[in-house]
Chains A and B, each alone.
Chain A
């Protein structure tokens, strides 16, 4: 059966086939919903909560929530934007992010989502500033988990797309982070061509292909050319911070 459903996102009607998530349906309709842990081709994990929307007073993750006929979805509202901003800011506080010297700058989804949400300045709260050792053991790949946002995209890509299971979570709560299943990356069969190592898989500058940094000039990097949220048919604005 190929039933069609209709629902609204911020008042705009979306007509879509049944069985999609709200995020997929929104993507198909050209409506941007910001996200970090979701990536095309990977099973949704629903952990970063940047993609939250409001339905009937309930906050849900749009990357896992099925679209249903007749829903009224709130996406780009001041309330939701503020939640998203708080969530994004917390990621900066938990990691060690110095964008001007980071080679992911300009292609980093965390940075691009921040710009979309109008976050341009560090906030005044204390930063945890972790100082985790960099794993530079592999000839071609470097792992700098100081910038990891625990989106799990590398874990899922390695497991389901590469069939290698190279990464996993270690630690709990605030100490939870991504680690290599093995002593270090050099002692795994990680290859540059793995889906898990592709530049698009890690949304930040954590999994890095060595000796490629800064080859793309400022102005020609992924999000310099197409800032997040502006490639949609409907040019949404995340607004600037109040």
Chain B
């Protein structure tokens, strides 16, 4: 039996949170197996037990400091059903949508500019001292300003709709607790033209990177998979509400317009001994073939069109690259993400010009139910919140499937593909090689757990083990 070495890359830098990649090498330095280990918020489903249901949309924001708004909204959607509300008032739905588009916009911008643009602009194997957000600030200050201002715009929208940038309370069971004042509206409208211009230039940046490096993008963690997302009833991209659609690698429908209240009839989760994170799969296709991807790339693959003109035009161009078939390139997530930013900015403008946002009818009422599922397309993909609440108003059951969990198999495969391509058989493992692994993981924008310090200096530790799992070598670089 040949001996293997294990390389562990820990933590994965410039992803939101903590993760560890371990690479198992044999005696000839060929990659045998690679895995992405993610520490997830275990125990939350228990923590939420017995809590009164109206606390849940606020508490779930503790799950994650990166996309609290998505959890806030997914839980609120579930709680709408608990209080028997199937349809919100126009003001409530539009306020929530505004909050959501603001959140996706700021999340995508943060990811693209702060976390990924150093790789895209300077190269995956550029000097790590330059290949970071400080390098962007030094060399492309105008981009850094754009990133900061766009992010701020999204965060201010969150504040205006949720009350605070983090841990807001805007959405409540059955509606919202505030509308948008004329003053708040005008505050945003004055920056709208600038946001539109910047969103389009960000789109160009992502698109041109993909086109100019098409060979690299096409050959980097590009693998067939199914894709899942919510779509509107007419097949349009809808980030806030819709039904579930899954397509296979060729674009054929696996299921379509499924009411997410019964997501569990179609999705299952597998537990594997080495990971805290579960592996969801499409029931009909079984646990070996049933895995799928979610997030911006998947959403653009599953949707038929986008209901805002500039984003739709960009979508058609995006689809043209793969002849209308699903795009499977991990690095195309970046382009997809920037198309969504354009869409969000267009949606925000439409909403700001809608007088419903100044309406006073904020909360709808209905007949109390025992169970509710809320689904939202979070920045990173489909987010499922499922609760049961007893007659004393306490939560008795909770199941969450978060975006990063859906992408678990895909990220592992991405790591494995890249490890085989860039590390296998190399006599010496360099930082640049390891960064390729991280680029692959980062494309999925995994939210590993709450981590706001991901932008600073973080040590990258690589550990090598022999066949008996003894540490034989180590290297450490600060990115």
Contact = CB atoms under 8 A, between A and B. Distances in A.
A100 B167 contact: yes
A42 interface: no
B163 interface: yes
Contacts of A100: 58, 61-62, 167
Interface stretch (B49-57, B107-115, B124-132, B227-235): B49-57
B169 A218 contact: yes
Interface string B67-89: 00000000000000001000000
A233 interface: no
A129 to B, nearest CB: 13
Nearest to B174: A211
29 contacts: A100-B62, A101-B59, A101-B61, A101-B167, A134-B50, A136-B50, A136-B392, A137-B392, A142-B52, A210-B52, A210-B54, A211-B54, A211-B83, A211-B393, A212-B54, A213-B54, A213-B55, A214-B54, A214-B55, A214-B57, A214-B177, A215-B363, A217-B163, A217-B169, A218-B162, A218-B164, A218-B168, A219-B163, A220-B178
Instruction: Give the 8 A-B residue pairs with the shortest CB-CB distance, closest first.
Output: A218-B163, A217-B178, A136-B392, A100-B167, A217-B177, A214-B169, A213-B54, A101-B59
B394 A136 contact: yes
Nearest to A133: B50
B170 interface: yes
B172 interface: yes
Interface string B160-194: 00111001111011000110000000000000000
Nearest to B83: A211
Contact of A134 (B57, B173, B394): B394
A101 B177 contact: no
A103 B51 CA distance: 12
Interface string B370-385: 0000000000000000
A219 B392 CA distance: 30
A213 B363 CA distance: 13
For chain A, what secondary structure do more than half of its interface residues adopt (helix, strand, loop), or is it mixed? Answer: loop
A136 B52 contact: yes
A102 to B, nearest CB: 8
Given A134-B394, A215-B177, A217-B163, A103 B170 contact: no
Given A134-B50, A136-B52, A217 B170 contact: yes
Which of B57, B59, B83, B172 has the most C-beta atoms of chain A within 10 angstroms of its own C-beta?
B172
A210 B393 contact: yes
Given A100-B167, A101-B58, A101-B62, A215 B394 contact: no
A214 B62 contact: no
Nearest to A134: B50
Which of A142, A212, A218 has the most C-beta atoms of chain B within 10 angstroms of its own C-beta?
A218
B60 to A, nearest CB: 9
Given A101-B59, A217-B163, A218-B163, 9 more contacts: A103-B58, A137-B392, A210-B52, A210-B393, A211-B54, A214-B58, A215-B363, A219-B163, A220-B178
Contact of A103 (B54, B162, B163, B178): B54
Contacts of B52: 134, 136, 142, 208, 210, 213
Interface string A136-159: 110000100000000000000000
Contacts of B62: 100-101
Interface size class of B (residues with CB under 8 A): 20 to 34
A103 B168 contact: no
Contacts of A210: 52, 54, 393
Contacts of B170: 217
A216 interface: yes
A199 to B, nearest CB: 15
Contacts of A217: 163, 169-170, 177-178
Nearest to A105: B169
Interface in B135-164: 162-164
A142 B393 contact: yes
Interface of B: 50, 52, 54-55, 57-59, 61-62, 83, 162-164, 167-170, 172-173, 177-178, 363, 392-394
A40 B347 CA distance: 50
Contacts of B393: 136, 142, 210-211
Nearest to B173: A211
Contacts of A211: 54, 83, 173, 393
B43 to A, nearest CB: 14
Nearest to B161: A217
Nearest to A205: B55
Nearest to B178: A217
Which of B52, B162, B363, B394 has the most C-beta atoms of chain A within 10 angstroms of its own C-beta?
B52
Nearest to A103: B55
Contacts of B50: 133-134, 136
Interface in A191-224: 208, 210-220
A220 B178 CA distance: 10
Contact of B172 (A214, A219, A220): A214
Contacts of B394: 134, 136
Contacts of A220: 178
Which of B57, B167, B169, B173 has the most C-beta atoms of chain A within 10 angstroms of its own C-beta?
B169
A211 B55 CA distance: 9
B49 to A, nearest CB: 11
Given A136-B393, A211-B393, A216 B54 contact: no
A216 B177 contact: yes
Contacts of A101: 55, 58-59, 61-62, 167
A212 B363 CA distance: 12
A220 B164 CA distance: 12
Contacts of B173: 211
A171 to B, nearest CB: 22
B392 A215 contact: no
Contacts of B363: 215
Contacts of A214: 54-55, 57-58, 169, 172, 177
A211 B417 CA distance: 51
A60 to B, nearest CB: 39
Contacts of B55: 101, 103, 213-214
B161 to A, nearest CB: 10
A93 to B, nearest CB: 21
B82 to A, nearest CB: 10
Contacts of B172: 213-215
A142 B164 CA distance: 26
Contacts of B167: 100-101
